[in-house]
Structure 1
Amino acid sequence: MRRAFSDQEFVSPPEYADNVCSSKEKFNKFLDKLWGINWNLHIAKNLKKAKDILGYIARYLKKPPISNRRIIEYDESAITFLARDYEKKKRLPFSISLDYFFISLFEHIPLPSFPLVRWYGLFSNRNKKKYIEQLQGLIPSKKQKEESDPRPMWRIRFEQRYGNDPLLCPVCKKEMELLFVLSARTIKKLGLLSLEEVLPAFCLNPSF
Protein backbone atom coordinates (compact mmCIF):
# COMPACT_ATOMS: atom_id res chain seq x y z
CA MET A 1 0.00 0.00 0.00
CA ARG A 2 2.85 2.37 0.76
CA ARG A 3 4.44 1.61 -2.59
CA ALA A 4 1.15 2.05 -4.42
CA PHE A 5 0.61 5.38 -2.67
CA SER A 6 4.11 6.56 -3.61
CA ASP A 7 3.54 5.51 -7.22
CA GLN A 8 0.15 7.29 -7.19
CA GLU A 9 -1.60 3.99 -7.94
CA PHE A 10 -3.50 3.82 -4.66
CA VAL A 11 -7.19 4.74 -4.98
CA SER A 12 -8.51 6.02 -1.67
CA PRO A 13 -12.17 6.19 -0.60
CA PRO A 14 -13.70 9.67 -0.99
CA GLU A 15 -14.02 10.17 2.78
CA TYR A 16 -10.24 9.69 3.22
CA ALA A 17 -9.06 11.67 0.21
CA ASP A 18 -8.85 15.06 1.95
CA ASN A 19 -7.61 13.77 5.30
CA VAL A 20 -5.71 10.51 5.65
CA CYS A 21 -4.61 10.32 2.04
CA SER A 22 -3.84 13.99 1.55
CA SER A 23 -0.11 13.50 2.14
CA LYS A 24 2.42 10.70 2.39
CA GLU A 25 3.16 11.53 6.02
CA LYS A 26 -0.49 11.27 7.06
CA PHE A 27 -0.94 8.08 5.06
CA ASN A 28 2.07 6.40 6.70
CA LYS A 29 0.88 7.50 10.13
CA PHE A 30 -2.53 6.01 9.41
CA LEU A 31 -1.01 2.68 8.32
CA ASP A 32 1.25 2.59 11.39
CA LYS A 33 -1.83 2.93 13.58
CA LEU A 34 -3.58 0.09 11.76
CA TRP A 35 -0.45 -2.04 11.93
CA GLY A 36 -0.57 -1.92 15.74
CA ILE A 37 -4.02 -3.55 15.85
CA ASN A 38 -4.28 -7.33 16.21
CA TRP A 39 -6.65 -8.18 13.37
CA ASN A 40 -8.61 -11.41 13.21
CA LEU A 41 -9.42 -11.93 9.56
CA HIS A 42 -11.45 -14.66 7.94
CA ILE A 43 -11.76 -14.59 4.16
CA ALA A 44 -14.40 -17.07 3.09
CA LYS A 45 -14.56 -18.74 -0.28
CA ASN A 46 -16.42 -16.94 -3.03
CA LEU A 47 -20.00 -18.03 -3.53
CA LYS A 48 -20.32 -18.82 -7.22
CA LYS A 49 -24.04 -19.54 -7.43
CA ALA A 50 -26.57 -16.72 -7.18
CA LYS A 51 -28.88 -19.00 -5.19
CA ASP A 52 -26.21 -19.49 -2.52
CA ILE A 53 -25.60 -15.74 -2.32
CA LEU A 54 -29.30 -14.99 -1.89
CA GLY A 55 -29.58 -17.71 0.74
CA TYR A 56 -26.68 -16.25 2.71
CA ILE A 57 -28.12 -12.73 2.58
CA ALA A 58 -31.60 -13.95 3.52
CA ARG A 59 -30.27 -15.83 6.54
CA TYR A 60 -28.33 -12.78 7.70
CA LEU A 61 -31.36 -10.50 7.37
CA LYS A 62 -33.92 -12.84 8.90
CA LYS A 63 -32.14 -14.98 11.46
CA PRO A 64 -30.81 -13.67 14.80
CA PRO A 65 -27.04 -13.31 15.28
CA ILE A 66 -26.96 -16.53 17.32
CA SER A 67 -29.49 -19.36 17.42
CA ASN A 68 -30.85 -20.76 20.67
CA ARG A 69 -29.48 -24.23 19.97
CA ARG A 70 -25.92 -22.89 20.09
CA ILE A 71 -26.39 -21.69 23.67
CA ILE A 72 -25.29 -24.47 26.03
CA GLU A 73 -25.79 -22.90 29.44
CA TYR A 74 -25.89 -19.57 31.24
CA ASP A 75 -26.18 -18.13 34.72
CA GLU A 76 -26.22 -14.66 36.29
CA SER A 77 -22.61 -13.90 35.35
CA ALA A 78 -21.62 -15.83 32.19
CA ILE A 79 -22.93 -17.64 29.15
CA THR A 80 -21.49 -20.61 27.26
CA PHE A 81 -22.25 -21.22 23.61
CA LEU A 82 -20.81 -23.00 20.60
CA ALA A 83 -18.48 -20.87 18.47
CA ARG A 84 -16.67 -21.83 15.29
CA ASP A 85 -12.94 -22.42 15.60
CA TYR A 86 -11.56 -21.80 12.12
CA GLU A 87 -8.22 -23.42 12.90
CA LYS A 88 -9.73 -26.68 14.11
CA LYS A 89 -12.64 -26.32 11.66
CA LYS A 90 -15.34 -27.19 14.18
CA ARG A 91 -17.53 -25.59 16.83
CA LEU A 92 -16.25 -25.56 20.39
CA PRO A 93 -17.74 -24.31 23.69
CA PHE A 94 -16.88 -20.69 24.40
CA SER A 95 -17.70 -18.80 27.63
CA ILE A 96 -17.90 -15.03 28.10
CA SER A 97 -19.50 -12.67 30.58
CA LEU A 98 -23.13 -11.70 30.10
CA ASP A 99 -22.21 -8.02 29.78
CA TYR A 100 -19.80 -8.67 26.92
CA PHE A 101 -22.27 -11.08 25.30
CA PHE A 102 -25.08 -8.52 25.19
CA ILE A 103 -22.75 -5.75 24.03
CA SER A 104 -21.69 -7.96 21.12
CA LEU A 105 -25.28 -9.02 20.46
CA PHE A 106 -26.67 -5.47 20.39
CA GLU A 107 -24.22 -4.49 17.65
CA HIS A 108 -26.22 -6.72 15.29
CA ILE A 109 -29.60 -5.22 16.21
CA PRO A 110 -30.49 -2.46 13.71
CA LEU A 111 -31.90 0.86 14.83
CA PRO A 112 -35.64 1.48 14.36
CA SER A 113 -36.56 2.09 10.70
CA PHE A 114 -32.99 1.30 9.63
CA PRO A 115 -33.08 -0.26 6.13
CA LEU A 116 -31.01 -3.43 6.03
CA VAL A 117 -31.22 -3.60 2.22
CA ARG A 118 -30.36 -0.25 0.68
CA TRP A 119 -29.79 -0.96 -3.01
CA TYR A 120 -32.77 -3.09 -3.92
CA GLY A 121 -36.43 -2.46 -4.67
CA LEU A 122 -37.57 0.98 -3.53
CA PHE A 123 -34.04 1.83 -2.39
CA SER A 124 -32.37 1.07 -5.71
CA ASN A 125 -30.85 4.03 -7.53
CA ARG A 126 -33.35 3.62 -10.35
CA ASN A 127 -36.42 3.82 -8.10
CA LYS A 128 -35.19 5.86 -5.16
CA LYS A 129 -35.83 9.34 -6.54
CA LYS A 130 -39.12 8.24 -8.03
CA TYR A 131 -40.76 6.72 -4.95
CA ILE A 132 -38.99 7.97 -1.81
CA GLU A 133 -40.69 11.38 -1.79
CA GLN A 134 -44.09 9.74 -2.29
CA LEU A 135 -43.46 7.31 0.56
CA GLN A 136 -42.27 10.05 2.90
CA GLY A 137 -45.52 11.89 2.27
CA LEU A 138 -47.47 8.82 3.40
CA ILE A 139 -45.58 8.47 6.69
CA PRO A 140 -47.18 10.69 9.37
CA SER A 141 -44.86 13.09 11.15
CA LYS A 142 -44.37 13.11 14.91
CA LYS A 143 -46.63 16.15 15.20
CA GLN A 144 -49.38 14.44 13.21
CA LYS A 145 -49.12 11.35 15.42
CA GLU A 146 -49.42 13.45 18.57
CA GLU A 147 -52.44 15.29 17.18
CA SER A 148 -54.20 12.05 16.20
CA ASP A 149 -53.46 10.29 19.49
CA PRO A 150 -51.60 12.16 22.27
CA ARG A 151 -51.04 8.99 24.30
CA PRO A 152 -47.46 7.67 24.61
CA MET A 153 -46.48 5.13 21.99
CA TRP A 154 -45.95 2.26 24.47
CA ARG A 155 -49.57 2.64 25.58
CA ILE A 156 -50.85 2.57 22.00
CA ARG A 157 -48.71 -0.47 21.14
CA PHE A 158 -49.92 -2.30 24.22
CA GLU A 159 -53.54 -1.71 23.26
CA GLN A 160 -52.90 -2.82 19.68
CA ARG A 161 -51.18 -5.99 20.87
CA TYR A 162 -53.44 -7.07 23.75
CA GLY A 163 -56.71 -5.33 22.90
CA ASN A 164 -57.06 -3.24 26.06
CA ASP A 165 -55.71 0.07 27.36
CA PRO A 166 -53.11 -0.64 30.09
CA LEU A 167 -53.99 2.59 31.94
CA LEU A 168 -57.75 2.06 31.84
CA CYS A 169 -59.04 0.45 35.02
CA PRO A 170 -60.89 -2.77 34.12
CA VAL A 171 -63.19 -2.29 37.14
CA CYS A 172 -64.31 1.35 37.15
CA LYS A 173 -63.22 2.16 33.54
CA LYS A 174 -61.43 5.33 34.68
CA GLU A 175 -57.95 6.32 33.57
CA MET A 176 -55.21 5.41 36.02
CA GLU A 177 -51.92 7.20 36.67
CA LEU A 178 -48.72 5.27 36.09
CA LEU A 179 -46.57 5.49 39.22
CA PHE A 180 -44.04 2.70 38.70
CA VAL A 181 -43.64 -0.66 36.99
CA LEU A 182 -43.10 -3.93 38.86
CA SER A 183 -42.09 -7.14 37.16
CA ALA A 184 -43.90 -10.39 37.91
CA ARG A 185 -40.74 -11.66 39.58
CA THR A 186 -40.62 -8.66 41.93
CA ILE A 187 -44.31 -8.98 42.78
CA LYS A 188 -43.86 -12.64 43.66
CA LYS A 189 -40.70 -11.93 45.65
CA LEU A 190 -42.33 -9.18 47.71
CA GLY A 191 -45.50 -11.18 48.20
CA LEU A 192 -47.72 -8.40 46.85
CA LEU A 193 -51.40 -8.78 46.14
CA SER A 194 -52.59 -9.95 42.76
CA LEU A 195 -54.11 -7.51 40.26
CA GLU A 196 -57.63 -8.81 40.92
CA GLU A 197 -57.23 -8.06 44.63
CA VAL A 198 -55.61 -4.64 44.25
CA LEU A 199 -57.86 -2.95 41.66
CA PRO A 200 -61.17 -3.14 43.59
CA ALA A 201 -59.46 -1.63 46.61
CA PHE A 202 -58.18 1.29 44.54
CA CYS A 203 -61.58 1.88 42.97
CA LEU A 204 -63.47 1.83 46.27
CA ASN A 205 -60.90 3.91 48.11
CA PRO A 206 -58.89 6.34 45.89
CA SER A 207 -56.67 7.28 48.84
CA PHE A 208 -55.63 3.64 49.27
Structure 2
Amino acid sequence: MIRLAEILDTHWDEYVHEGGRYIPPHVFKAANQIMACRTPILGTDVYRCPNCDTTKFVYHSCKNRFCPRCGQYETDHWAATILSQLPSIKHHHVVFTLPEQLRPLAKANPELLQTLLFHTSAAVIKEWFAEKHHTIPGIISVLQTAGSDLHYHPHIHMLVSAGGLKANQWFELASAYLVNHKYLQKKFRWLFLNQLVAAYDHGRLQLPGELAVMQERREFMRLVKKLHSVAWVVAVQPPLADPENIVRYVGRYTRRACLSEYRITDFSDGVITFECKDYTTAEAGKPGLKTVCLHYGEFFDRLFQHVPLPGFRMVRYYGLYAHFKDLPPLPAEEPRAMPEKLSWRELQIDKTGEDPLVCPACRCELVFWRTEFSAIPFLFPGSRLPELAYADTS
Protein backbone atom coordinates (compact mmCIF):
# COMPACT_ATOMS: atom_id res chain seq x y z
CA MET A 1 0.00 0.00 0.00
CA ILE A 2 1.26 3.48 -0.88
CA ARG A 3 1.22 5.69 2.21
CA LEU A 4 0.29 9.37 2.16
CA ALA A 5 3.29 9.96 4.45
CA GLU A 6 5.56 8.57 1.72
CA ILE A 7 4.21 11.08 -0.81
CA LEU A 8 4.59 13.91 1.69
CA ASP A 9 8.14 12.89 2.62
CA THR A 10 9.07 13.00 -1.06
CA HIS A 11 7.43 16.21 -2.23
CA TRP A 12 6.13 18.33 0.68
CA ASP A 13 9.21 20.55 0.94
CA GLU A 14 9.16 21.19 -2.82
CA TYR A 15 5.47 22.01 -2.63
CA VAL A 16 5.97 24.48 0.22
CA HIS A 17 8.88 26.27 -1.45
CA GLU A 18 7.26 26.56 -4.88
CA GLY A 19 5.48 29.72 -3.70
CA GLY A 20 2.37 31.26 -5.15
CA ARG A 21 0.02 29.69 -2.63
CA TYR A 22 -0.99 30.32 0.97
CA ILE A 23 -0.75 27.30 3.24
CA PRO A 24 -2.65 27.81 6.53
CA PRO A 25 -0.97 26.81 9.81
CA HIS A 26 -3.47 23.99 10.47
CA VAL A 27 -2.55 22.45 7.08
CA PHE A 28 1.18 22.66 7.94
CA LYS A 29 0.41 20.98 11.24
CA ALA A 30 -1.59 18.17 9.61
CA ALA A 31 1.08 17.50 6.97
CA ASN A 32 3.94 17.46 9.48
CA GLN A 33 2.06 15.25 11.92
CA ILE A 34 1.18 12.76 9.17
CA MET A 35 4.85 12.61 8.14
CA ALA A 36 5.93 12.18 11.77
CA CYS A 37 3.27 9.61 12.65
CA ARG A 38 4.75 6.33 13.93
CA THR A 39 8.31 7.62 13.63
CA PRO A 40 10.83 8.56 16.37
CA ILE A 41 9.88 12.24 15.92
CA LEU A 42 6.74 11.84 18.04
CA GLY A 43 8.39 9.66 20.63
CA THR A 44 9.19 6.02 21.16
CA ASP A 45 8.21 3.67 23.97
CA VAL A 46 11.00 1.17 24.58
CA TYR A 47 10.19 -2.27 26.00
CA ARG A 48 12.71 -4.91 27.10
CA CYS A 49 12.48 -8.59 27.81
CA PRO A 50 13.59 -9.32 31.42
CA ASN A 51 14.76 -12.77 30.36
CA CYS A 52 16.73 -12.37 27.12
CA ASP A 53 17.21 -8.59 26.68
CA THR A 54 15.14 -8.46 23.48
CA THR A 55 14.19 -4.82 22.83
CA LYS A 56 11.02 -3.58 21.13
CA PHE A 57 10.43 0.01 19.94
CA VAL A 58 6.85 1.28 19.74
CA TYR A 59 6.47 4.60 17.92
CA HIS A 60 3.79 7.06 18.96
CA SER A 61 0.96 7.95 16.60
CA CYS A 62 0.04 11.55 15.72
CA LYS A 63 -3.73 11.31 16.41
CA ASN A 64 -4.39 14.07 13.88
CA ARG A 65 -7.96 13.78 12.64
CA PHE A 66 -6.75 14.08 9.03
CA CYS A 67 -4.25 11.22 9.36
CA PRO A 68 -5.34 8.20 7.28
CA ARG A 69 -3.57 5.78 9.63
CA CYS A 70 -4.75 7.12 12.99
CA GLY A 71 -8.34 7.76 12.07
CA GLN A 72 -9.56 4.27 11.21
CA TYR A 73 -9.94 3.06 14.79
CA GLU A 74 -11.46 6.37 15.93
CA THR A 75 -13.95 6.17 13.05
CA ASP A 76 -14.92 2.60 13.94
CA HIS A 77 -15.26 3.47 17.63
CA TRP A 78 -17.46 6.47 16.81
CA ALA A 79 -19.73 4.28 14.67
CA ALA A 80 -19.96 1.61 17.38
CA THR A 81 -20.80 4.25 20.01
CA ILE A 82 -23.55 5.77 17.85
CA LEU A 83 -25.04 2.35 17.07
CA SER A 84 -25.16 1.53 20.79
CA GLN A 85 -27.18 4.71 21.44
CA LEU A 86 -29.63 4.73 18.52
CA PRO A 87 -33.18 3.59 19.27
CA SER A 88 -34.32 0.48 17.41
CA ILE A 89 -36.39 2.25 14.77
CA LYS A 90 -35.87 2.74 11.06
CA HIS A 91 -33.67 5.57 9.79
CA HIS A 92 -33.40 7.48 6.53
CA HIS A 93 -30.21 8.61 4.82
CA VAL A 94 -30.66 12.18 3.55
CA VAL A 95 -28.02 14.23 1.69
CA PHE A 96 -28.01 18.05 1.37
CA THR A 97 -25.54 19.53 -1.17
CA LEU A 98 -24.46 23.13 -1.77
CA PRO A 99 -24.85 24.12 -5.45
CA GLU A 100 -21.74 24.54 -7.56
CA GLN A 101 -22.30 28.30 -8.00
CA LEU A 102 -21.95 28.81 -4.24
CA ARG A 103 -18.72 26.87 -3.73
CA PRO A 104 -16.21 29.71 -4.36
CA LEU A 105 -17.94 31.74 -1.65
CA ALA A 106 -18.00 28.69 0.63
CA LYS A 107 -14.24 28.12 0.14
CA ALA A 108 -13.55 31.74 1.08
CA ASN A 109 -15.83 31.50 4.16
CA PRO A 110 -15.62 27.84 5.20
CA GLU A 111 -16.56 28.15 8.87
CA LEU A 112 -19.52 30.44 8.25
CA LEU A 113 -21.05 28.66 5.27
CA GLN A 114 -20.41 25.16 6.55
CA THR A 115 -22.11 26.12 9.82
CA LEU A 116 -25.04 27.51 7.81
CA LEU A 117 -25.16 24.24 5.89
CA PHE A 118 -25.37 22.28 9.14
CA HIS A 119 -28.03 24.44 10.78
CA THR A 120 -30.30 25.07 7.80
CA SER A 121 -30.39 21.43 6.66
CA ALA A 122 -31.30 20.28 10.19
CA ALA A 123 -33.88 23.07 10.53
CA VAL A 124 -35.60 21.95 7.32
CA ILE A 125 -36.02 18.38 8.61
CA LYS A 126 -37.12 19.46 12.09
CA GLU A 127 -39.66 21.95 10.71
CA TRP A 128 -41.15 19.34 8.38
CA PHE A 129 -41.58 16.81 11.21
CA ALA A 130 -43.11 19.48 13.45
CA GLU A 131 -45.59 20.67 10.80
CA LYS A 132 -46.51 17.27 9.37
CA HIS A 133 -46.38 14.96 12.39
CA HIS A 134 -46.01 17.25 15.46
CA THR A 135 -42.96 15.14 16.21
CA ILE A 136 -39.36 15.76 17.26
CA PRO A 137 -37.00 13.62 15.12
CA GLY A 138 -33.48 12.48 15.85
CA ILE A 139 -30.80 13.78 13.47
CA ILE A 140 -27.07 13.08 13.10
CA SER A 141 -25.36 15.33 10.53
CA VAL A 142 -21.90 14.65 9.10
CA LEU A 143 -20.13 17.22 6.92
CA GLN A 144 -18.01 16.07 3.99
CA THR A 145 -16.29 18.69 1.84
CA ALA A 146 -14.68 16.39 -0.72
CA GLY A 147 -16.04 14.69 -3.77
CA SER A 148 -14.59 11.33 -4.75
CA ASP A 149 -12.06 13.13 -7.01
CA LEU A 150 -11.06 15.46 -4.11
CA HIS A 151 -12.67 18.55 -5.67
CA TYR A 152 -14.43 20.88 -3.22
CA HIS A 153 -17.96 19.51 -2.91
CA PRO A 154 -19.50 20.41 0.48
CA HIS A 155 -22.47 18.28 1.47
CA ILE A 156 -24.18 16.95 4.57
CA HIS A 157 -24.87 13.27 5.11
CA MET A 158 -27.76 13.02 7.54
CA LEU A 159 -29.15 10.11 9.51
CA VAL A 160 -32.83 10.87 10.23
CA SER A 161 -35.09 8.80 12.46
CA ALA A 162 -38.26 7.55 10.74
CA GLY A 163 -40.31 8.91 13.61
CA GLY A 164 -39.58 10.50 16.95
CA LEU A 165 -41.22 11.80 20.11
CA LYS A 166 -44.83 12.94 19.91
CA ALA A 167 -46.50 14.14 23.11
CA ASN A 168 -43.69 12.43 25.07
CA GLN A 169 -44.39 9.09 23.40
CA TRP A 170 -42.54 7.30 20.62
CA PHE A 171 -44.09 7.69 17.19
CA GLU A 172 -42.87 5.75 14.14
CA LEU A 173 -43.79 6.54 10.54
CA ALA A 174 -45.99 3.80 9.13
CA SER A 175 -44.84 4.34 5.55
CA ALA A 176 -41.38 4.00 4.00
CA TYR A 177 -41.99 7.40 2.41
CA LEU A 178 -40.44 10.32 4.28
CA VAL A 179 -41.05 13.47 2.23
CA ASN A 180 -40.90 14.73 -1.35
CA HIS A 181 -37.31 15.77 -2.01
CA LYS A 182 -38.51 18.78 -4.05
CA TYR A 183 -40.15 20.21 -0.94
CA LEU A 184 -36.89 19.86 0.96
CA GLN A 185 -34.94 21.43 -1.92
CA LYS A 186 -37.11 24.56 -1.98
CA LYS A 187 -37.21 24.92 1.80
CA PHE A 188 -33.45 24.38 2.10
CA ARG A 189 -32.70 26.91 -0.64
CA TRP A 190 -35.01 29.55 0.83
CA LEU A 191 -33.71 29.18 4.39
CA PHE A 192 -30.02 29.04 3.44
CA LEU A 193 -30.15 32.07 1.12
CA ASN A 194 -32.10 34.13 3.67
CA GLN A 195 -29.38 33.51 6.25
CA LEU A 196 -26.65 34.10 3.67
CA VAL A 197 -28.08 37.54 2.82
CA ALA A 198 -28.31 38.35 6.53
CA ALA A 199 -24.64 37.40 6.97
CA TYR A 200 -23.71 39.64 4.03
CA ASP A 201 -25.69 42.58 5.44
CA HIS A 202 -23.91 42.20 8.79
CA GLY A 203 -20.48 42.25 7.09
CA ARG A 204 -19.62 38.66 8.01
CA LEU A 205 -18.57 37.48 4.52
CA GLN A 206 -14.98 37.60 3.30
CA LEU A 207 -14.81 38.51 -0.41
CA PRO A 208 -11.21 38.08 -1.62
CA GLY A 209 -9.91 37.93 -5.20
CA GLU A 210 -12.59 37.45 -7.84
CA LEU A 211 -15.28 37.63 -5.16
CA ALA A 212 -14.40 41.28 -4.43
CA VAL A 213 -16.88 42.43 -7.08
CA MET A 214 -19.64 41.36 -4.69
CA GLN A 215 -18.66 44.05 -2.22
CA GLU A 216 -21.24 45.99 -4.21
CA ARG A 217 -24.57 44.67 -2.92
CA ARG A 218 -26.14 44.64 -6.37
CA GLU A 219 -23.56 42.10 -7.56
CA PHE A 220 -24.07 39.94 -4.49
CA MET A 221 -27.84 39.93 -4.98
CA ARG A 222 -27.29 38.96 -8.60
CA LEU A 223 -25.63 35.77 -7.34
CA VAL A 224 -28.47 35.21 -4.87
CA LYS A 225 -31.03 35.60 -7.64
CA LYS A 226 -29.14 33.07 -9.76
CA LEU A 227 -29.03 30.64 -6.82
CA HIS A 228 -32.80 30.99 -6.41
CA SER A 229 -33.25 29.79 -9.99
CA VAL A 230 -31.22 26.56 -9.73
CA ALA A 231 -32.26 23.29 -8.13
CA TRP A 232 -30.46 22.48 -4.88
CA VAL A 233 -29.73 18.78 -4.61
CA VAL A 234 -31.39 16.96 -1.73
CA ALA A 235 -31.51 13.16 -1.87
CA VAL A 236 -33.78 11.09 0.38
CA GLN A 237 -33.17 7.35 0.67
CA PRO A 238 -35.75 4.74 1.76
CA PRO A 239 -35.50 3.76 5.43
CA LEU A 240 -33.39 0.91 6.71
CA ALA A 241 -34.33 -1.14 9.75
CA ASP A 242 -30.63 -1.61 10.58
CA PRO A 243 -28.80 1.73 10.36
CA GLU A 244 -25.32 0.19 10.72
CA ASN A 245 -24.37 0.51 7.05
CA ILE A 246 -25.51 4.14 6.92
CA VAL A 247 -23.67 5.05 10.13
CA ARG A 248 -20.44 3.46 8.92
CA TYR A 249 -20.81 5.03 5.47
CA VAL A 250 -21.48 8.59 6.63
CA GLY A 251 -18.90 8.35 9.40
CA ARG A 252 -16.04 6.93 7.35
CA TYR A 253 -14.21 10.27 7.07
CA THR A 254 -15.21 11.86 10.39
CA ARG A 255 -11.84 11.10 12.00
CA ARG A 256 -9.49 10.61 9.05
CA ALA A 257 -8.44 11.98 5.67
CA CYS A 258 -10.97 12.14 2.85
CA LEU A 259 -8.76 9.84 0.75
CA SER A 260 -8.28 6.25 1.87
CA GLU A 261 -4.76 5.05 1.11
CA TYR A 262 -6.02 1.87 -0.55
CA ARG A 263 -7.41 4.09 -3.33
CA ILE A 264 -3.88 5.29 -4.23
CA THR A 265 -2.76 2.90 -6.97
CA ASP A 266 0.52 4.45 -8.15
CA PHE A 267 3.11 7.05 -7.15
CA SER A 268 6.03 7.73 -9.47
CA ASP A 269 7.85 10.70 -11.02
CA GLY A 270 5.87 13.19 -8.96
CA VAL A 271 2.50 11.89 -10.19
CA ILE A 272 -0.11 10.31 -7.92
CA THR A 273 -2.77 8.01 -9.36
CA PHE A 274 -5.88 7.17 -7.38
CA GLU A 275 -9.30 5.68 -7.97
CA CYS A 276 -12.54 7.62 -7.67
CA LYS A 277 -16.20 7.15 -8.49
CA ASP A 278 -17.36 7.80 -12.05
CA TYR A 279 -20.97 8.99 -11.95
CA THR A 280 -21.14 9.18 -15.76
CA THR A 281 -21.05 5.38 -15.94
CA ALA A 282 -23.52 4.66 -13.16
CA GLU A 283 -25.57 1.49 -13.56
CA ALA A 284 -28.65 0.85 -11.42
CA GLY A 285 -27.69 3.89 -9.35
CA LYS A 286 -24.20 2.55 -8.57
CA PRO A 287 -21.31 4.56 -10.06
CA GLY A 288 -18.37 2.91 -11.76
CA LEU A 289 -14.70 3.60 -11.07
CA LYS A 290 -12.14 5.70 -12.90
CA THR A 291 -8.52 6.67 -12.25
CA VAL A 292 -7.25 10.21 -11.75
CA CYS A 293 -3.58 11.14 -12.29
CA LEU A 294 -2.37 14.34 -10.61
CA HIS A 295 0.99 16.07 -10.27
CA TYR A 296 1.87 16.30 -6.59
CA GLY A 297 1.18 20.06 -6.57
CA GLU A 298 -2.42 19.67 -7.69
CA PHE A 299 -2.81 16.55 -5.55
CA PHE A 300 -1.80 18.44 -2.40
CA ASP A 301 -3.94 21.44 -3.43
CA ARG A 302 -7.00 19.24 -3.72
CA LEU A 303 -6.33 17.08 -0.68
CA PHE A 304 -5.37 19.69 1.90
CA GLN A 305 -8.27 22.04 1.19
CA HIS A 306 -10.29 19.48 3.16
CA VAL A 307 -8.31 19.61 6.42
CA PRO A 308 -10.90 20.57 9.06
CA LEU A 309 -10.53 23.99 10.65
CA PRO A 310 -9.19 23.85 14.23
CA GLY A 311 -12.04 23.24 16.65
CA PHE A 312 -14.65 22.89 13.90
CA ARG A 313 -17.06 20.02 14.58
CA MET A 314 -17.63 17.85 11.51
CA VAL A 315 -20.39 15.85 13.22
CA ARG A 316 -23.40 17.48 14.88
CA TYR A 317 -26.52 16.21 16.59
CA TYR A 318 -30.01 17.71 16.46
CA GLY A 319 -33.50 17.09 17.82
CA LEU A 320 -33.75 13.97 19.96
CA TYR A 321 -30.13 13.05 19.27
CA ALA A 322 -28.77 16.32 20.62
CA HIS A 323 -28.76 14.67 24.06
CA PHE A 324 -28.53 10.90 23.79
CA LYS A 325 -28.33 10.47 27.56
CA ASP A 326 -31.77 12.04 27.96
CA LEU A 327 -33.34 9.89 25.25
CA PRO A 328 -36.24 7.81 26.62
CA PRO A 329 -35.99 4.11 25.72
CA LEU A 330 -38.39 2.49 23.31
CA PRO A 331 -40.99 0.21 24.92
CA ALA A 332 -39.49 -3.24 25.59
CA GLU A 333 -36.08 -2.08 24.34
CA GLU A 334 -33.20 -3.64 26.23
CA PRO A 335 -30.38 -1.33 27.35
CA ARG A 336 -27.19 -1.65 25.33
CA ALA A 337 -23.69 -1.31 26.69
CA MET A 338 -21.44 1.45 25.40
CA PRO A 339 -18.36 0.08 23.61
CA GLU A 340 -15.13 0.39 25.55
CA LYS A 341 -12.10 2.00 23.98
CA LEU A 342 -9.31 -0.46 23.36
CA SER A 343 -5.76 0.23 24.46
CA TRP A 344 -2.99 0.08 21.86
CA ARG A 345 -2.08 -3.41 23.09
CA GLU A 346 -5.69 -4.66 22.95
CA LEU A 347 -6.14 -3.16 19.50
CA GLN A 348 -3.08 -4.97 18.15
CA ILE A 349 -4.27 -8.27 19.63
CA ASP A 350 -7.70 -7.69 18.10
CA LYS A 351 -6.21 -6.92 14.67
CA THR A 352 -3.44 -9.52 14.46
CA GLY A 353 -4.31 -12.16 17.05
CA GLU A 354 -0.87 -11.72 18.62
CA ASP A 355 0.21 -9.87 21.75
CA PRO A 356 2.75 -7.19 20.70
CA LEU A 357 4.25 -7.09 24.19
CA VAL A 358 5.24 -10.75 24.35
CA CYS A 359 8.88 -11.51 23.55
CA PRO A 360 9.07 -13.34 20.20
CA ALA A 361 12.18 -15.20 21.37
CA CYS A 362 11.29 -16.55 24.82
CA ARG A 363 7.57 -15.63 25.16
CA CYS A 364 8.09 -13.62 28.34
CA GLU A 365 6.10 -10.42 28.76
CA LEU A 366 8.08 -7.35 27.72
CA VAL A 367 8.60 -4.68 30.39
CA PHE A 368 8.40 -0.95 29.76
CA TRP A 369 11.85 0.62 30.09
CA ARG A 370 11.71 4.24 28.94
CA THR A 371 10.21 6.78 26.53
CA GLU A 372 12.41 8.56 24.02
CA PHE A 373 10.94 11.72 22.58
CA SER A 374 11.72 14.84 20.58
CA ALA A 375 9.99 18.08 19.57
CA ILE A 376 7.41 18.09 16.78
CA PRO A 377 8.22 20.39 13.80
CA PHE A 378 4.59 21.50 13.45
CA LEU A 379 4.83 24.58 11.29
CA PHE A 380 8.22 25.02 9.78
CA PRO A 381 9.08 22.69 6.91
CA GLY A 382 12.79 23.40 7.32
CA SER A 383 12.74 21.99 10.84
CA ARG A 384 14.11 18.50 10.94
CA LEU A 385 14.83 16.03 13.68
CA PRO A 386 16.49 17.62 16.71
CA GLU A 387 18.66 15.55 19.01
CA LEU A 388 16.68 12.73 20.56
CA ALA A 389 15.98 13.03 24.27
CA TYR A 390 14.50 10.42 26.56
CA ALA A 391 12.75 9.94 29.87
CA ASP A 392 14.40 7.09 31.73
CA THR A 393 12.12 5.30 34.20
CA SER A 394 14.60 2.63 35.22
Could you say whether these structures have the same fold, taking a TM-score greater than 0.5 normalized by the shorter chain as the test?
A: no
- Please identify which structure carries the higher strand content: 2
Which structure has more relative contact order (CA 8 Å, sep 6+)? It is 2
TM tier relative to shorter chain: 0.3 to 0.5
More helix by share: 1
TM-score norm. by structure 1 comes to: 0.42
- TM-score where L is the length of structure 2: 0.25
Which of the pair has more CA radius of gyration? 1
